[in-house]
Amino acid sequence: MRPKDDAKVEAIYEATLRQIDEVGIAGATMARIARDAGVATGTLYTYFENKHELLSKLYVRIKSGAVAEFVRDMPADQPYRIVFRRVWLNMLQFNVQRHLEGTFMAQFYRSTYISEEVRAEGLRLFQPINALLDRGKREQLVRDVDNALLHAAISGPIYETAQLVHEGRLTLNDEIIEQVFQMTWDSIKA
């Protein structure tokens, strides 16, 4: 189905995120999402087969947007640490500033809503990050361990840190960001 009105899809996506942030994935009913998006409930079904598809598409969309965000302004020709730092900072900022998206991805990824295909698709989107890690290994600046483990070492702390900020238990500033980065870098550096 080729939606006529991209702006409407956009509004639906945004309403979905807002509602999930407010009332959680289960509390975000189709009626609430529709109202928030300024359309009728039935209209949701013009653009999406059902709630599952709405969430899945939103997930893929956010995930690919996120990865694009991660590699934004990546100074590819700079020394590795500089490049990595840029990407890491993008990841942290994305998770902190766009908490809705980050939280949704985390929630959805572990939810029963996600299907195997969507999960796999999400992984595929991470390719650019893997490429970055591979470069680091080639240059012998990053430990030679499974990318999945490196990823765990990088994302894990970011998720937890963003959560701390969201809970109000931590306020970020340059010094703290530097500390967190240093910890992660020490964690993965060869």
Partner DNA sequence: TATGAATGAGCCTTCATTCAT
Partner DNA sequence: TATGAATGAAGGCTCATTCAT
Site string for a second copy, 67-106 (x = CB under 8 A): ------------------------------------x--x
Closer to DNA by Cβ: residue 20 or 87: 20
**Is 142 in a helix, a strand, or coil?**
strand
CA dihedral sign, ordered 9, 14, 15, 20: positive
- Asked whether the beta carbons of 104 and 17 are under 8 A apart, the reply is yes
Q: What own/partner pairs with CB < 8 Å and gap ≥ 24 does 186-189 have?
A: 187/153, 187/154, 188/136, 188/142, 188/143, 188/150, 188/153, 188/154, 189/141, 189/142, 189/143
Q: Which stretch binds DNA (CB under 7 A): 4-12, 56-64, 100-108, 129-137?
A: 4-12
Site string for DNA, 42-71 (x = CB under 7 A): xxxxxx--xxx-------------------
Residue among 27, 45, 51, 137 that touches a second copy (CB under 8 A): 27
Residue 121 phi/psi, 5° resolution?
Answer: -60, -40
Token representation of residue 137: 């290994």
Residue 142 phi/psi, 5° resolution?
Answer: -120, 140
Residue among 15, 17, 39, 87 that touches DNA (CB under 7 A): 39
Tell me which residues touch a second copy (CB under 8 A).
Answer: 1, 22-27, 40, 42, 103, 106-107, 110-113, 119, 143, 145-146, 148-149, 151-153, 155-161, 163-164, 167, 169-170, 176, 179-180, 183-184, 186-189
Residues that bind DNA (CB under 7 A): 1-5, 8, 27-32, 39-47, 50-52
